[in-house]
A = this chain, B = another copy of it.
Amino acid sequence: MRIGELAARAGVSTRQVRFYEAKGLITSTRLRNNYRDYDGTALGRVQQIRELLDAGLSTQVIRAVLPCLESPRDPIVFEGVTTETVTALECERDRLTGRIGILTRNRDAVAGYLTELQQRANGPATNRGADRRSP
């Protein structure tokens, strides 16, 4: 698959695809043209990269965690794993957990605010005094 098709299918610009490749997030072979050639796994990769970038991760972090994200885990990704890699991944896992906690707390706060707002709007609007707004 050439870069244009890949980009179109993933809904990104070719600029982005080249950038991800330059950052080592995806790979390509070259045709005799010198044109980039992407295999079938590239589309999924790019979509995953987009997701993670949108979620606020940097390409560095994404490069670290991408190998863990293969659906059917290639036995290859278990070869030659250094303790440094493991440590880095554990660190990333924990950072992700922290992020999830923060986002969850804040999402809940926003949701709570909205709920409260809605109650205040609903309650006094209809003159049904469900939760005694005015005694």
A-side residues, CB < 8 A to B, are: 51-52, 54-57, 65, 67-69, 73, 77-78, 81, 86, 89-90, 92-93, 96-97, 99-100, 102-104, 106-107, 109-114, 116-117, 120
Contacts A73-B116, A81-B117: A92 and B104 contacting too (C-beta < 8 A)?
no
Among B54, B92, B102, B110, the residue within 8 A (CB) of A110 is: B92
List the number of copies, as a whole number. 2
A sample of 16 cross-chain residue pairs with beta-carbon separation below 8 angstroms, ordered by A number, consists of: A52-B106, A68-B109, A68-B113, A69-B110, A73-B113, A73-B116, A78-B116, A89-B110, A90-B114, A93-B110, A93-B111, A96-B103, A96-B107, A100-B100, A100-B103, A100-B107
